[in-house]
């Protein structure tokens, strides 16, 4: 699967951009603040309908414009034309001219994995980032997961609103609790299934980037210990006191450790960075296994920040993607990276919201 065309209108600093791409490596070269990351952000947006910068859609509208448009032609098993328009007043998402009704029909059409500086939050940030990592991966590999997650979030919100209300009836609370348990259990089961698939891939990736797996482990740590229903029932009076749902997968954690010690608490900066890259490489491998073709890899700047050893650890992933007809977009301010990558590189010069091909030399 790859993007054959990308069209941007009033997206970030792009008033109008129309690009055609083949599969393979694409290097976006340019000085700071020219629009390199913005291109990657638009591709990631097509894949997930989110920004990897952790901001909402409003920030992606070009200053002074009412809304942005991102369009793409996807080539592969499920080739299609995607059009996405977003403004404060209107959202339109269509595939082959048909409006998308359910998110679950859409996610998975474009699969992308991003490597960016914000990734460090996966280790340094709150558990929310690690839950989102599991959620995105499961949404893209297990068809029923997204539905369960959406329903869980909905019922959790309703249940919390009810607990905050001055008066409520027991029957409504019980109905919400029933749904919460049902969807919550589905989410936890899927997360339990994910970890044994993810860990060996992350260990292998970690070994590649640091030469040794250093006893990398990851453990799913659900907030629920054994029985969601019983444990939640025991919290009934405390829930009334705190006016919120105190237990469930919205409080889960995914713990990463090296030689038995928490990476976030005891890891060095280099170890944290390696774990994060290993997580992303594992994500890319898992998506490849699942779909049979590699996801689009979006690599933002991180190459420049990595030492020689870690960079060469990433090479096999890029090579495999290349051999399988995948697509890689990389941003760079200096040309220190492409030489090791060698052959067949498409280079683009990004300058003040324009992107133009540059002839290789
Ligand atoms: N909503 C917006 N409307 C207009 N311009 C924007 C918007 N958001 C960001 N920009 C501008 O986009 C420009 C390019 O941003 P981008 O992050 O893509 O740069 P970059 O080429 O990746 O730079 P760096 O090498 O520093 O990472 C910046 O000048 C920024 O001010
Ligand atoms: Mg950038």
Cα gap 25→295, rounded to integer Å: 13
| Tens-level pLDDT at each residue, the chain (361 residues) | 899 999 999 999 999 999 999 999 999 999 999 999 999 999 999 999 999 998 999 999 999 999 999 999 999 877 899 999 999 999 999 999 999 998 888 988 899 999 998 899 999 999 999 999 999 999 988 889 999 999 999 999 999 999 999 998 999 999 999 999 999 999 999 999 999 999 999 999 999 888 888 999 999 999 999 999 999 999 999 999 999 999 999 999 999 999 999 999 999 988 999 999 999 999 999 999 998 889 999 999 776 667 777 777 887 778 888 788 889 999 988 655 556 666 678 889 999 999 999 865 4
What pLDDT, on the 0 to 100 scale, is given for residue 210?
87
- Mutation choice for ligand 1 from 15, 35, 298, CB with most ligand atoms inside 8 A: 35
Residue 333 beta carbon below 6 angstroms from any ligand 1 atom: yes
What pLDDT, on the 0 to 100 scale, is given for residue 310?
77
Look up tokens 């009334």; give the residue.
Answer: 240
Task: Identify the DSSP state of 194.
Answer: H
> How far away, in angstroms, is 276 Cα from ligand 2 center?
19
Q: For ligand 1, atom 24, name the residue with the nearest CA.
A: 32
| Pairing outcome for strands 296-300 and 112-115 | parallel
Cα gap 99→200, rounded to integer Å: 39
> How far away, in angstroms, is 170 Cα from ligand 2 center?
52
What pLDDT, on the 0 to 100 scale, is given for residue 308?
74
Residue 51 beta carbon below 6 angstroms from any ligand 1 atom: no
What pLDDT, on the 0 to 100 scale, is given for residue 304?
64
Q: Assign 3-class secondary structure to 297-354.
A: EEEECHHHHCCHHHHHHHHHHHHHHHHCCCEEEEEECCCCCHHHHCCCEEEEEEECCE
Q: For ligand 1, atom 5, name the residue with the nearest CA.
A: 13
What pLDDT, on the 0 to 100 scale, is given for residue 339?
63
> How far away, in angstroms, is 300 Cα from ligand 2 center?
7
CA dihedral 312, 48, 81, 84 (to 10 degrees): -130
Residue 42 beta carbon below 6 angstroms from any ligand 1 atom: no
Q: Where are the alpha helices (DSSP H) in the chain?
A: 36-48, 103-106, 121-124, 127-141, 145-164, 170-210, 228-234, 236-242, 263-266, 269-291, 302-305, 308-323, 338-341
Task: Identify the DSSP state of 101.
Answer: -
Q: Mapping DSSP to helix (H, G, I), strand (E, B) and coil, where does residue 263 land? A: helix
What pLDDT, on the 0 to 100 scale, is given for residue 67?
98
Q: For ligand 1, atom 25, name the residue with the nearest CA.
A: 32
| Pairing outcome for strands 345-351 and 24-29 | parallel
Asked whether the beta carbons of 276 and 123 are under 8 A apart, the reply is yes
Cα gap 329→331, rounded to integer Å: 7
Q: For ligand 1, atom 26, name the residue with the nearest CA.
A: 32
Question: Alpha carbon of 145 to those of 178, 245, 338: distances in Å?
Answer: 18, 21, 38
Residue 13 beta carbon below 6 angstroms from any ligand 1 atom: yes
Convert the pLDDT of each residue in 286-324 to its tens digit. Answer: 999 998 889 999 999 776 667 777 777 887 778 888 788
In total, the chain counts a number of residues equal to: 361
């Amino acid at each position: 699967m790859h993007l054959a065309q990308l069209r941007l209108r009033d997206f970030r600093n792009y008033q109008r951009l129309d690009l055609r791409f083949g599969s393979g490596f694409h290097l976006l070269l340019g000085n700071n603040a020219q629009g390199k990351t913005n291109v990657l952000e638009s591709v990631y947006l097509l894949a997930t309908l989110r920004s990897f910068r952790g901001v909402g859609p409003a920030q992606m509208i070009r200053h002074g414009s009412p809304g942005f448009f991102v369009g793409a032609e996807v080539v592969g098993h499920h080739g299609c034309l995607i059009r996405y328009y977003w403004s404060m007043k209107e959202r339109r998402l269509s595939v082959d001219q048909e409006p998308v009704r359910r998110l679950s029909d859409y996610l998975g059409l474009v699969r992308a994995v991003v490597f960016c500086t914000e990734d460090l939050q996966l280790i340094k940030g709150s558990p929310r980032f690690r839950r989102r990592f599991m959620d995105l991966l499961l949404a893209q590999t297990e068809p029923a997961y997204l539905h369960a997650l959406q329903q869980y979030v909905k019922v959790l919100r309703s249940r919390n609103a009810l607990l905050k209300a001055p008066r409520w009836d027991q029957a409504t609370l019980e109905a919400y609790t029933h749904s919460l348990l049902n969807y919550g259990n589905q989410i936890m089961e899927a997360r339990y299934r994910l970890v044994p698939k993810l860990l060996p891939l992350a260990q292998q990736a970690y070994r590649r980037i640091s030469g040794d797996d250093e006893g990398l482990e990851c453990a799913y740590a659900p907030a629920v210990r054994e029985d969601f229903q019983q444990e939640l029932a025991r919290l009934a009076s405390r829930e009334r006191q705190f006016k919120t749902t105190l237990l469930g997968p919205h409080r889960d954690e995914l713990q990463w450790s090296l030689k038995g010690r928490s990476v976030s608490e005891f890891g060095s900066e280099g170890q944290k960075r390696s774990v994060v890259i290993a997580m992303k490489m594992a994500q890319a491998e898992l998506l490849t296994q699942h779909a049979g073709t590699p996801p689009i890899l979006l690599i933002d700047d991180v190459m420049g920040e990595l030492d020689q050893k870690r960079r060469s650890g990433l090479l096999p992933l890029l090579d495999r993607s290349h051999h399988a007809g995948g697509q890689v977009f990389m941003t760079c301010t200096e040309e220190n990276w492409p030489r090791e990558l060698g052959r067949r590189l498409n280079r683009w010069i990004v300058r003040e919201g324009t992107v133009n091909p540059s002839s290789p030399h």
